Chains A and B, each alone.
Chain A
Amino acid sequence: MKNAVREVQGSLVVTLEGEIDLDRAPAIRLLLLDCVGQGRDVLVDLARVTYIDSSGIASLVEALQNAGKGGTRLGLVAISQQARRVFELARLDKVFAIHSDIDAALAAAG
């Protein structure tokens, strides 16, 4: 369960893995806020997320809102089936930009 950040064409790609719950969400929140605070677009890859709950969703919502305030974008990429289910339950699947893969996300960013 590790998180990785890399740069792709000027955007920061954050790859999250494993279970995102109350135990891990505080560290992930700080990581996302740090990335958003760098003034670049952020893409969060959720392909390998096996579990996410309201605490993980809260971290992503806060990062999304901070990105909006800073004039950058935060998008989700390759969202896992479990994560998609939770976003749909929270009716956040229309609030976040959700892309099939990194290439599609970068193309959408233009």
Chain B
Amino acid sequence: MNAPAEELLFELRFPAQADRMSVVRETVRSAARLCGFDEQTAQDIVLAVGEACQNVILHSYGDRDDGQILLDIRSGGDRMILRVVDFGPPVDPKRIRPRDLQDVRPGGLGTHFIRQLMDSADFGPAPDGKGNVLQMTKKKVLVT
């Protein structure tokens, strides 16, 4: 069975800097509404993308302040597809895992949030070998 065609909704390229994230979140929220998600689910998607970008800012680029993030948002049949691409050094996917929540301490929650909030989250190297891609999907729930 062929996968449904993906329709590009937004493509955003921006500096990997914390002060850009408010604008990014508003774009994601608008895209989620375009896909027909309710406000709570749109908020969940916004949080997942925010955490993904935060991971890039903190871990992929570290002390670098010239890194960029490419956010690609698509609607594909029954789901929304969001790809967060960075151009930093390859990160071992095994390092991208949620921590034990029993261990109450600051930090390390972002990956847990992403996995809780999205239907899928797959991290790996960018196809051209330069950078990393986190692809997240969220299924649309039809409101009757």
Q: Is the interface of B mostly helix, strand, loop or mixed?
A: helix
- Could you list which residues of chain A lie within 8 angstroms of chain B, going by C-beta atoms? 19, 21-23, 51, 53-55, 57-59, 61-62, 65, 82, 85-86, 89-92, 95
Interface residues of B in 96-144 (CB under 8 A from A): 101, 104-110, 112-113, 116-117
Q: Does B79 contact A (CB under 8 A)?
A: no
Residue of A nearest to B58 (CB): A22
> Mind listing 5 A-B residue pairs with CB under 8 Å?
A21-B54, A58-B106, A58-B107, A65-B105, A90-B109
Decide if A23 touches B47 in the complex (CB within 8 Å).
Answer: no
Contact with A along B4-46 (1 / 0, CB 8 A): 0000000000000011011001000000000000001001101
Decide if A61 touches B104 in the complex (CB within 8 Å).
Answer: yes
Decide if A58 touches B43 in the complex (CB within 8 Å).
Answer: no
Interface centre among B43, B47, B108, B116 (most CB of A within 10 A): B47
Q: Does B57 contact A (CB under 8 A)?
A: yes
Contact with A along B64-106 (1 / 0, CB 8 A): 0000000000000000000000000000000000000100111
Decide if A23 touches B22 in the complex (CB within 8 Å).
Answer: yes
Decide if B110 touches A54 in the complex (CB within 8 Å).
Answer: yes
Q: How far, in whole Å, are A87 and B124 apart by their CA atoms in the complex?
A: 28
Q: How far, in whole Å, are A48 and B86 apart by their CA atoms in the complex?
A: 33
Task: Tell me which of A22, A62, A85 contacts B54 (CB under 8 A).
Answer: A22
Given the interface pairs A53-B51, A86-B47, A92-B104, the reply to whether A21 lies near B21 with Cβ below 8 Å is: yes
Decide if B106 touches A59 in the complex (CB within 8 Å).
Answer: yes
